[in-house]
Chain A
């Protein structure tokens, strides 16, 4: 074999390890699942939205509107009596519908007079994730289609209305029902955009803290082993719990410090990207109280503790700095997964299996906490804090236990097993 071939063979042998391939394989699976999820979104976009209709007007343009809506949506409730509104909403909720559209009295007459006709839209919003607002977007598109058709009708029949009304013949008076709140004047898309701009920062920062601090803990353990300093440390008069706690606390301090720097940069960036909203959330009682902020802080703290304890446990398996890089992968994955899941779907609208999975991933709790608290879902946040605290305690106990066993020195109790 030529010298070049000899070197290539040796290098390939060295690189061809499960540690090299496993992260890539898992990443491919994750991307594949995300591709499926996006495929699912496309499917959902093709589906007809479920709506209810109350046509009080029963005239030329309202008939046009109902025919378009009937053709392009699955209408589960139809009425011409305004008193049926409550009944319509109940039917909509039962049928997993998205909106009850009420075409008000004098709709046609007003348009012909040059005054935009009124659509009263009662949205039933299920979640604030990207995929949760698909149906409502389709209904918004259908209302735009109705507008276009009325405009065409006005122009083709040479009706003498002012240009503004001809181009924008209707307006929407919206009310959204979301997580037990009745929000007047807000559509699901507006609520989604407000909530996402509010709650995107927390998952990203949380993910960064976990990955950065977790990486530090694992690397610290790996370096202790690689630099052969661990053996000395373990024979000094210091409790194993102090060694574990010391490493976790130091990484948490650095992690939080880095997070503050990161948050400042990201905050300015997001501020510059954000479209100024005229909606004052305080008007809708959508603000976090001091107690809520305290709960978020507690959730972040216990999650950081859990993440670092898990990393400490993983770090005990690190043989050297190179193997530490591989060990950070599961932590990175566990931090990225809930971030994406929460961005796509609201916890409430997820299938039960996904809900259980998300709840079990300790890092997802501080990511979900701000939105949950905004809508008063205290049981989810408090149970999350309790769960993550228990998880952290178990991880710390396991780390201390590993520190007390031979595994910390030998890497495995069966090192010499044939």
Chain B
């Protein structure tokens, strides 16, 4: 059963067409990766699906809800982690998670915060102000915030961007585990190893168009490549 259905999606900014009619579907519990060079249209696509930008044409359905008609309903079931997302600096880590949880079902607020704290795994530092956190700690807090709401669809834009190896590995592990709870993941990344490790299926996007789509293993076989990086170079390059 498809959680995400994107059909002929187009996004224009003035005379520039950033997304030129892409279509894809993502099944429940799947991790789907959008891979492409800078300016290919990955972030724009994620921003449209997460209700931040409006599509010029085409349709997006998430769990049966039409993005154009029911953005409010969609916001209840998605969770978006922007690439360079920030945190309110005057709050503590716990305070930030509580602030976000308060937008959701009040009966589960405490459980949500507990889950967020568990995912972020910041120990006692969760009670410290966010402006004292390192970049890795902030990102872990943000991942905790994104996944604590048990979203039907988690949209992660470069989830490990700018993190060291240890922090990146930890976040990948968290993302992988989250699908076991029924969450579907749509992510974008430059990191081909990450994509290979995480994604059940990937779509290569270039200049606003999906140029290839499939399971990493299948694509590697198709292009006689030893890894996704080679596939990417052969398709896009």
Contact = CB atoms under 8 A, between A and B. Distances in A.
Interface of A: 227-229, 231-232, 234-239, 405-406, 409-410, 413-418
Interface in B124-162: 145
Contact of A235 (B13, B50, B54, B89): B50
Given A406-B53, A415-B13, A417-B13, A236 B88 contact: no
B15 A417 contact: yes
26 contacts: A231-B47, A231-B52, A232-B81, A234-B51, A234-B52, A235-B51, A235-B75, A235-B78, A235-B80, A237-B72, A237-B104, A238-B75, A405-B54, A406-B53, A409-B52, A410-B13, A410-B53, A413-B13, A413-B14, A414-B13, A415-B13, A415-B14, A416-B14, A417-B13, A418-B15, A418-B16
A239 B76 CA distance: 11
B100 interface: yes
B54 A417 contact: no
B54 A406 contact: yes
A72 B147 CA distance: 86
Contact of A231 (B76, B85, B88): B85
B86 A236 contact: no
Contacts of B75: 235-238
Contacts of A418: 14-16
B87 interface: yes
Contact of A232 (B15, B16, B54, B80): B80
Contact of A236 (B47, B84, B85, B100): B100
Contacts of A237: 72, 75-76, 103-104
A236 B82 contact: no
B9 interface: no
B71 to A, nearest CB: 9
Contacts of B80: 231-232, 235
Nearest to B130: A227
Nearest to A410: B13
B88 to A, nearest CB: 6
B18 interface: yes
A235 to B, nearest CB: 4
B195 to A, nearest CB: 23
Chief secondary structure at chain B's binding surface: loop
Residue of A232, A414, A415 contacting most chain B CB atoms (<10 Å): A232
A231 B75 CA distance: 12
Given A228-B85, A236-B103, A414 B14 contact: yes
Given A234-B51, A235-B50, A409-B52, A228 B13 contact: no
Interface residues of B, number: 29
A163 B15 CA distance: 92
Given A236-B100, A406-B53, A413-B13, A228 B82 contact: yes
Contacts of A229: 85-88
A232 B14 contact: no
B188 to A, nearest CB: 14
Contacts of A238: 75, 103
Q: Which 8 A-B pairs have the closest CB atoms?
A: A417-B14, A228-B86, A416-B16, A416-B13, A227-B86, A414-B14, A235-B80, A237-B75
A227 B85 CA distance: 8
B18 A416 contact: yes
Given A238-B75, A416-B13, A417-B16, 13 more contacts: A228-B84, A229-B85, A231-B47, A234-B51, A235-B75, A235-B79, A236-B100, A237-B75, A237-B104, A238-B103, A406-B13, A410-B53, A417-B14
A409 B11 CA distance: 14
A406 B78 CA distance: 19
A56 B78 CA distance: 92
A405 to B, nearest CB: 7
A413 B52 CA distance: 13
Residue of A236, A405, A406, A418 contacting most chain B CB atoms (<10 Å): A236
Contacts of A415: 13-14
A406 B81 CA distance: 18
Contacts of B15: 416-418
A232 B54 CA distance: 16
A242 B57 CA distance: 28
A416 to B, nearest CB: 4
Contacts of A231: 47, 52, 80, 82, 85
A359 B53 CA distance: 38
Nearest to A242: B103
Interface string B3-19: 00000000001111010
Contacts of B14: 413-418
Given A232-B80, A236-B75, A227 B103 contact: no
A410 B72 CA distance: 21
